[in-house]
Chains A and B, each alone.
Chain A
Amino acid sequence: AQSVAQPEDQVNVAEGNPLTVKCTYSVSGNPYLFWYVQYPNRGLQFLLKYITGDNLVKGSYGFEAEFNKSQTSFHLKKPSALVSDSALYFCAVRDQTGANNLFFGTGTRLTVIP
């Protein structure tokens, strides 16, 4: 069965510092991996995805994520955090065994401190 783990409920980082939001996954076969962001009182917005190819994926707002097959991880990163990056971040994996539904992690709240 597929699953996604986000081990940190909360990540705090100073503005201008690099940030990392962690995600590990478990899925049969090759994974399709996603990051979504949720700002207060809004729906989720797509940030980036990994399907195949280059392990470093670049997405919206300067975010990137690194796919690591041996560690089954897909950590979200940004070289220099902005206060406006403060939000709730969700990692997700697509089930490729029939239903093809998207399974989400529990979310990590990122707070960027001015």
Chain B
Amino acid sequence: NAGVTQTPKFQVLKTGQSMTLQCAQDMNHNSMYWYRQDPGMGLRLIYYSASEGTTDKGEVPNGYNVSRLNKREFSLRLESAAPSQTSVYFCASTFDRAGANVLTFGAGSRLTVL
């Protein structure tokens, strides 16, 4: 049982380059999330997908796009990377976003934009 798998684990980009972070879960979860983690700021929600076929903005969506490819996969795209997007990105999922359901997190993707 792999849980939530993120790729790549590490990436270095130059300003203006584009890239896609991939996330897949094998727990039949309905809701998926992308967070970024920055020192002193905790985790901030970028985008989420409440269910297959839907996506919505979180707290800090600017500069990002997402695709819920199917129930298992939720990708995060940076169209034109900026140094301010240097961060650790976490994908998470839960069966049902309502109530007290627990999030399961991936191991993270560390992105550096030069």
Contact = CB atoms under 8 A, between A and B. Distances in A.
Contacts of A32: 99-100
B18 to A, nearest CB: 25
Chain B: interface size category: 20 to 34
A43 B4 contact: yes
Contacts of A99: 48, 56, 97
Chain A: interface size category: 20 to 34
B108 A34 contact: no
Contacts of A102: 33, 45, 103
Contacts of B58: 101
A106 B40 contact: yes
Contacts of B92: 43-44
B41 interface: yes
A8 interface: no
8 contacts: A6-B42, A34-B100, A42-B107, A44-B105, A49-B100, A100-B97, A100-B98, A101-B48
Interface of A: 6, 9, 32, 34, 36, 41-46, 49, 51, 90, 94, 99-107
Given A99-B56, A102-B33, 9 more contacts: A34-B100, A42-B107, A43-B92, A43-B108, A94-B100, A102-B45, A104-B42, A104-B43, A107-B42
